[in-house]
Amino acid sequence: MKYLKQIGIILGITFIGEILNYLIPLPIPASIYGMAILFVALTTGAIKLSSIKECGKYLIGIMPILFIPAGVGLIASWDTMKNFLVAILVISFVSTIIVAAVSGHVTQFIIKRKKGEK
């Protein structure tokens, strides 16, 4: 029963994300809305981490399996993508470098800030 409650909470938040995606005309995926709602709920204490912890660990454990449909979709659209392969590779490389740099700077900022508090 505990696991049904946990998956129900996660699915409920996912459903709210889908509703927001339908109502708000922005090009943001519903999963992002759902993650933002879950983040806010966890940080504000509206949802306790213990309320979804075991189910969340399970979903993280099976995450590689969840990428199979996306990989099959890429393979199925190969004929369209091969014309833009160089552009896709350049964009992927540049965006990876940008994400790594921003993540590093944010991490350094947080570490310096925590050292300043001590």
Shared domain for 22 and 53, answered yes or no, is: yes
117 SS3 class: helix
Residue 71 lies in a domain: no
**Which tens digits make up the pLDDT trace of 28-65?**
999 999 999 999 999 999 999 999 999 999 999 999 99
Q: How many domains does the chain have?
A: 2
The answer to whether residues 13 and 55 touch, using CB atoms and an 8 Å cutoff, is: no
Residues 6+ apart with CB under 8 A from 81: 74, 88
Model confidence at 4: pLDDT above 90: yes
Question: Which tokens hold the place of 97?
Answer: 């470098």
Model confidence at 1: pLDDT above 90: no
Shared domain for 86 and 117, answered yes or no, is: yes
Shared domain for 1 and 45, answered yes or no, is: yes
Residue 15 lies in a domain: yes
**Which tens digits make up the pLDDT trace of 76-110?**
998 888 899 999 999 999 999 999 999 999 999 99
The answer to whether residues 17 and 33 touch, using CB atoms and an 8 Å cutoff, is: yes
Helices (H), 1-118: 2-23, 30-44, 53-61, 63-66, 68-76, 78-81, 85-117
In degrees, rounded to 5, the angle at the alpha carbon of residue 77 between the alpha carbons of residues 72 and 82 is 120
In degrees, rounded to 5, the angle at the alpha carbon of residue 18 between the alpha carbons of residues 48 and 78 is 115
The answer to whether residues 30 and 18 touch, using CB atoms and an 8 Å cutoff, is: yes
Shared domain for 61 and 21, answered yes or no, is: yes
Q: How sure is the predictor about 115, in pLDDT bands with cuts at 50, 70 and 90? A: confident
Q: How sure is the predictor about 74, in pLDDT bands with cuts at 50, 70 and 90? A: confident
* Residue 23: predicted pLDDT: 95
Shared domain for 3 and 38, answered yes or no, is: yes
